[in-house]
Amino acid sequence: MFLIASTLHPLVHPKICVTINQNEKNMNNFDLIVIGACHGFWLENDIKKCSNKILLIEPVKYNFDQLKNRFKNYKNIIFENIAIGEKNELIDFFHVLESSIDKLKKHWSSGIGSFSKEHILKHRTKRFQITKKDIKCIKIKAMTFNKLIEKYKIEYINNLIIDTEGFDYKIIKSINFKKIFIKEIMFEKKHLSKTFQIDNKLDEIKTFLSKENYELFDISDENILAKKKKWSI
């Protein structure tokens, strides 16, 4: 679910936290929400720049434990060991076993998690010999994005990062923009339809976000940044 680069995650934007105006300060706002934070190594520099609340979401327990430990001294960070799903429920979730990471010789494999076991297996290549034995199924609490917003009474998000191995599409489509203002949304495009397939889902997302007054930019081969054209409140 959360492919991690060795030094900097491909979704990170150089201006992830900016100064917010007085109107925004009066709102229940978050500087940063990350769905699929993994162990958080790639977030360190950006989190230091954020003065308001941050919400980090990570379903895989060994990643979540590292995430909490890494940022344990930050009083403005909220941690959630959940998945963002289509329903509020307990659901099967698949991820790479912690004990298999060294064997697979790909540190980013810790970040591959999905509601689909087949999605993980489709990452198999000559250099990444993952098998069913390397995958663990857990029962995880899933929460819809809108339930998450309701839980924390969020009105404003400066930056929303979504890295969920293709589930990005459903999360974005579920956002009720009448209830929340999001300045920037960064998401992974390469699994939007199927594993390593984009198809027409990307066009649907672009159309959907354009109607909500977002301008979209390809910031890498894998990721897109959507910026609100007019974001004064």
Q: What is the pLDDT of residues 179-223, one digit of tens each?
A: 999 999 999 876 665 555 556 788 888 999 999 999 999 888 778
Host domain of residue 196: 23-113+139-228
Number of structural domains in the chain: 1
**Model pLDDT for residues 104-123, shown as the tens digit of each residue:** 667 666 778 888 888 888 77
* Residue 10 belongs to a domain: no
Q: What is the DSSP string of 168-208?
A: HHHHHHH--TTT-EEEEEEEE-TTSSBTTB-TTHHHHHHHH
> Using only C-alpha atoms, what is the Rg of the chain?
17
Mean pLDDT of the chain: 83
**pLDDT over 80 (residue 76):** yes
* Residue 37 belongs to a domain: yes
Residue 93 is predicted with a pLDDT of 94
* Residue 4 belongs to a domain: no
* Residue 165 belongs to a domain: yes
* Residue 125 belongs to a domain: no
* Residue 27 belongs to a domain: yes
The domain that contains 48 carries what CATH number? 3.40.50.150
Which of these ranges, 63-72, 75-84, 92-101, 196-205, has the smallest mean pLDDT? 196-205
**pLDDT over 80 (residue 77):** yes
Q: Pick 106 or 30 by higher pLDDT.
A: 30
Q: How far apart are CA 233 and CA 34, in angstroms?
A: 23
* Residue 119 belongs to a domain: no
Q: How far apart are CA 53 and CA 36, in angstroms?
A: 17
Residue 3: band (very low, low, confident or very high) from pLDDT cuts 50, 70, 90: very low
* Residue 12 belongs to a domain: no
- DSSP letter (8 states) at residue 133: G
